[in-house]
């Protein structure tokens, strides 16, 4: 039978792998309908910064789902969170690969992003219960989808690969939100939604540069 120490070691292993290891997707990386056009240096830097922000979002998603799976005692819900986490691993690998292709890097603050997101996910699950935890998933994924749409508007016109990745990520996030709704999520209060948007704006602004 697993001991509390085993659980702690597993959590530490997951965090270290998420933040520092290379990732391998189960699904092939999305490709654009046509080849990428040549990007100027300014376009390449902007695309890299946007994909870095998206990579940070996926680091946070891993932390959130891991924490929420830990917080719940519902076996089916644990499985739900772990399945969603696997799809987010695809996103993590895709954004990681695209950053390398663009000659850019991931955020230097990823350990901090992971720790903060893990804490939020655990508190949401432990203090709010399963339905609030699911509600947090719904609102998070809705906000992430809106954020990804804004990136589609900002990515260079010739960067078809990044666009294809972001479009697939957006579709997956919206599906995660719908699945959480069907699983019994409650609607979060408006002030909490506003706070989540503010925190996300701070994170994306910092990650765009660091």
Nearest CA among 172, 78, 59 for reference residue 125: 78
Residues 49-60 have a mean pLDDT of: 95
**Chain-wide mean pLDDT for the chain?**
91
pTM score, whole prediction = 0.93
pLDDT > 70 in the chain, percent: 97
Q: If DSSP codes are grouped into helix, strand and coil, which group holds residue 33?
A: coil
**Residues 198, 202, 207, 210: what is their CA dihedral angle, to the nearest 10 degrees?**
-170
CA distance 147 to 56: 13
Instruction: Write the pLDDT tens digit of every residue in 121-167.
Output: 998 888 888 999 999 999 999 999 999 999 999 999 999 999 999 99
Q: Is 129 left (phi over 0), alpha (psi -120 to 50) or beta?
A: left
Residues 99-109 have a mean pLDDT of: 95
Residues 168-197 have a mean pLDDT of: 93
At residue 1 the predicted structure's pLDDT band, cuts being 50, 70 and 90, is low
- Check whether 14 has a pLDDT greater than 90: no
Q: Looking at residue 49, what is its pLDDT?
A: 96
At residue 191 the predicted structure's pLDDT band, cuts being 50, 70 and 90, is very high
Q: Looking at residue 2, what is its pLDDT?
A: 62
CA diameter of the chain: 56
**Beta strand ranges found along the chain (DSSP E):** none
Q: Looking at residue 21, what is its pLDDT?
A: 85
Nearest-5° Cα angle at 66, 174 to 166? 35
DSSP state of 184: T
Q: Looking at residue 190, what is its pLDDT?
A: 94
- Check whether 79 has a pLDDT greater than 80: yes
């Amino acid at each position: 039978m697993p001991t509390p120490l085993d659980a702690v070691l597993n959590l530490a292993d997951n965090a270290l792998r998420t933040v520092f290891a290379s990732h391998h997707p189960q699904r092939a990386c999305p490709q654009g309908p046509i080849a990428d056009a040549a990007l100027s240096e300014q376009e390449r830097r902007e695309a890299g910064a946007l994909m870095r922000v998206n990579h940070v979002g996926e680091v946070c998603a891993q932390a959130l789902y891991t924490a929420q799976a830990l917080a719940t005692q519902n076996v089916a819900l644990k499985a739900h969170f772990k399945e969603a986490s696997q799809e987010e691993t695809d996103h993590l690998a895709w954004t990681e690969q695209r950053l390398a292709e663009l000659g850019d890097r991931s955020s230097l603050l990823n350990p901090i992003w992971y720790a903060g997101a893990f804490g939020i996910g655990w508190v949401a699950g432990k203090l709010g219960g399963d339905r609030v935890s699911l509600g947090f998933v719904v609102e998070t994924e809705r906000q992430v989808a809106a954020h990804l749409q804004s990136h589609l508007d900002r990515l260079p016109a010739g960067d078809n690969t990044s666009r294809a990745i972001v479009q697939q990520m957006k579709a997956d996030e919206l599906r995660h939100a719908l699945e959480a709704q069907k699983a019994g999520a409650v609607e979060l209060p408006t002030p909490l939604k506003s706070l989540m948007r503010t925190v996300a704006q701070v994170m994306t602004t910092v990650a765009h540069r660091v």
